Amino acid sequence: MRMAAITVCLLLCWCSSFSRAAQKWKKIESEYCEIYFLSYRELKKINSNVDVSLISLNVEKKIRSPKIKTKSISNEVKRKFDVIFRKVKEILDMHPRGVKVKINIYLNKKQLDRVHHKLFKQKNRAISFYVYKTNTIYTSVQHISEGVLAHEMGHCIIDHYFVVLPPRKVQEILAVYVDSHLND
CB closer to Zn ion out of 76 and 113: 113
Helical pair 73-92 and 40-49, crossing angle rounded to 10 deg: 40
Q: Which stretch binds Zn ion (CB under 5 A): 12-20, 43-51, 105-113, 174-182?
A: 174-182
* Smallest separation, CB 16 to Zn ion (Å): 37
Q: Which stretch binds Zn ion (CB under 5 A): 17-25, 69-77, 101-109, 168-176?
A: 168-176
Cα–Cα distance for residue pair 137/148, rounded to 1 Å: 10
* Smallest separation, CB 50 to Zn ion (Å): 18
Around Cβ 3, how many Cβ atoms within 10 Å?
A: 7
Q: 24-41: buried (b, 16+ CB within 10 Å) or exposed (e) per residue?
A: eeeebebebbbbbbbeee
Sequence-ordered alpha helix ranges (H) in 93-145: 109-120
CB closer to Zn ion out of 39 and 135: 135
**Number of amino acids touching Zn ion (CB under 5 A):** 1
CB closer to Zn ion out of 25 and 132: 132
CB closer to Zn ion out of 77 and 156: 156
For position 137 contacting Zn ion by CB under 5 A, the verdict is: no
The torsion angle over the Cα atoms of residues 61, 183, 45 and 160, rounded to 10 degrees, is 60
Q: Select the residue interacting with Zn ion from 91, 175, 178, 182 (CB under 5 A).
A: 175
The site for Zn ion (CB under 5 A) is made up of 175
